[in-house]
Amino acid sequence: MYTEKVIEHFRHPHNMGKLRDYSAVGKVGNIVCGDVMWLYIKVDKDPKGREIICDISWETFGCTAAIATSSMVSEMAKGKTLKEAIAITNKNVAEELDGLPPVKMHCSALAADALNEAIYEYLTQNQHEIPDALKRRHERLAKEMASLEERYKAFLAKEQVANGTKTAGDVKHAPD
């Protein structure tokens, strides 16, 4: 079901781990849906004075596709100017991996979203002007993250009920 390129990136992921000295981090996904991606960027100026992503890394909890897209997006963004990096779409990421199974397309969105969020955080922290498209995307993502957080809280509440002593089907027939 996965392309060879996906498998290759999954088996030998690039730029994994946490940067020691990062400029910003983009955190997307939630444990409730089974994918969480943290993307770290280090921004510096190139000889022409343009801001570039001089180093990048990630930490991902997720499936094969989530790990492969993390690896791929980090490769694609490395050395790019912020403007170029902002232009990377989830479609680009999937294409670079020779495609993803339809059910896994959301993983490529997660990778591009994480990059978006890292750049957004960098620009905000440094009080740079934020392009409209980036801002709109950030607002949409923030909303999604909040709703995932709600779902997660609901799950946790259910877990607490289940781990208490009173649920139907519990207690009376505890393990022998």
Query: One of 7, 31, 33, 161 is an active-site residue; which one?
Result: 33
Q: Is 63 annotated as catalytic?
A: no
Q: Does 168 bind other proteins (CB under 8 A)?
A: yes
Cα separation, 142 vs 145, in Å, equals 5
Q: Does 165 bind other proteins (CB under 8 A)?
A: no
Cα separation, 150 vs 143, in Å, equals 11
Q: Does 31 bind other proteins (CB under 8 A)?
A: yes
Residue numbers 88-117 binding other proteins by CB under 8 A? 103-104
Cα separation, 114 vs 20, in Å, equals 18
Quote the least distance from Cβ 171 to other proteins, whole Å: 7
Maximum distance among all Cα pairs of the chain, rounded to whole angstroms: 73
Q: Which stretch binds other proteins (CB under 8 A): 34-42, 115-123, 127-135, 139-147?
A: 34-42
Question: DSSP of 22-77, one letter per residue?
Answer: -SEEEEEEEGGGTEEEEEEEEEEE-TTS-EEEEEEEEEEES-HHHHHHHHHHHHHH
Active-site positions read: 33, 107
Which residues would be at the binding site for other proteins (CB under 8 A)? 7, 10-11, 13, 16-17, 27, 31-38, 58-67, 103-104, 152, 155-156, 158-159, 162-163, 167-176
